[in-house]
Amino acid sequence: MVVNPEILALATLVLTIGAEMIHSRRIKSIATLAFGPPALPSSWTRIVPAMRCIALASGIWGLTTLLTIQPKIHKAKAVDPDEIRHIIIVLDVSPSMKIKDAGKNGTLRRRERAFELMESFFKRVRVEQMRLSLIAVYNGAKPVVVDTKDAEVVRNFLDSMDMYTAFEAGKTHLFDGLNLAAEIASPWRQESTTIVLLSDGDTVPSVGIPKMPRSVNGILVIGVGNPIKGTFLDGQNSKQDASTLRQIALRLNGTYHDGNVKHIPSKTITSLVSVQEKSAFEKMTRREYALAAIGISSLILATLPFILNFFGTSWRVGIRSSSDTTK
């Protein structure tokens, strides 16, 4: 049998209105007995018939709606394709990243500090919504992981795994890694990708800035290593080249953060990778509205008799005022 909740609710509303009209006429005939000499209830009780009619109709609608809709099966939530965010990590794996001058006390290698920063990053984002990619950059760029759901795979590569041996010795070319990141991100959804660059610096050419596709909506450049005191490596003084990294971020309309001591601010992470989620009301379906209608109508119908008993009239049987007692 096909049941229409709206028709049943309307029929209930009509029946309860008729019942309330009959009930009202019966009350008038015993008004003095029920409400005392004034023969009138409290003024607020005028809305009670309408409340009862609406509550009964709402309850019937909610119950019949639950009877007719498909039962909800609770299972692991699948991520909506529109909520997926792509994170491309461009990691500098040059030998200078093995220098031990990072962290608050300067006791960490630059690669270890980069790993700490990304660990903190992963803890403050919804990893189930993220698709992670890792690009190693030194004298060129190579994709290590592309668009994986498994954050542990990326963690394993970030955790001090030497990858510079996959490249020929030479200078670091960060733009090669950014160009490869742009190429990987190009087919993805518009404004769904964030690029995170972790490095201690590089010589930036005056021309040839990587052009980012429409899928990229944010770039975060993170510097590691002591930006003041350098360490000699292969006859050169190596330190975090903060000015160069800041210039890269500026030219790419991105954000620079000195991560040598401080973690990435939560505000920065939120602005880059936050997903606009629907509000609680936008997520409500017919089922939730039916449950709400049942709950509210049941509460009204259950509490109304008690409220009417205590506050329906100001007249109290057997209680007289002091002036009446004096007379």
Angle of helix 151-158 relative to helix 110-123, nearest 10 degrees?
A: 160
Print pLDDT tens along the chain (327 aa). 567 899 999 999 999 999 999 988 888 888 888 787 888 888 888 899 999 999 999 999 999 999 888 877 666 566 677 778 899 999 988 888 888 888 888 888 888 898 989 888 888 888 788 899 999 998 889 999 998 988 888 888 888 677 888 888 888 888 889 999 999 999 998 888 999 999 888 767 767 788 899 999 889 999 998 887 767 666 666 777 888 888 888 888 889 998 888 888 888 888 777 655 556 677 788 899 999 999 999 999 999 999 988 888 877 766 555 555 554
The structure tokens listed for 67 are: 């009877």
CATH number of 81-264: 3.40.50.410
- The DSSP code for 94 is S
Task: Please state the domain extents for the chain.
Answer: 5-72+288-316, 81-264
Q: Cα–Cα distances in Å, from 315 out to 58, 98, 265, 322?
A: 33, 88, 65, 15
* DSSP helix/strand/coil, 307: helix
Are the C-beta atoms of 88 and 272 separated by less than 8 Å? no
Nearest Cα to 225, choosing from 204, 203, 201? 201
> pTM score, two decimals?
0.64
pLDDT at site 60: 94
Regarding beta strands 100-102 and 108-109, do their DSSP bridges make them parallel or antiparallel, or are they unpaired? Answer: antiparallel
pLDDT at site 161: 77
Regarding beta strands 130-138 and 85-92, do their DSSP bridges make them parallel or antiparallel, or are they unpaired? Answer: parallel
The CA dihedral of 241, 244, 245, 248, to the nearest 10 degrees, is: -170
The structure tokens listed for 131 are: 């698709």
Q: What is the residue whose two structure tokens read 């990778």?
A: 273
Regarding beta strands 130-138 and 236-238, do their DSSP bridges make them parallel or antiparallel, or are they unpaired? Answer: unpaired
pLDDT at site 71: 78
Q: Cα–Cα distances in Å, from 177 out to 103, 115, 144?
A: 25, 18, 11
Element (H, E) at 281: helix 280-283
The CB density around residue 320, as the number of other CB atoms within 10 Å, is: 9
Angle of helix 286-311 relative to helix 48-68, nearest 10 degrees?
A: 150
pLDDT at site 22: 92
pLDDT at site 79: 65
The CB density around residue 138, as the number of other CB atoms within 10 Å, is: 27
Distance between CA 210 and CA 181 in Å, rounded? 9
pLDDT at site 144: 92
* DSSP helix/strand/coil, 140: strand
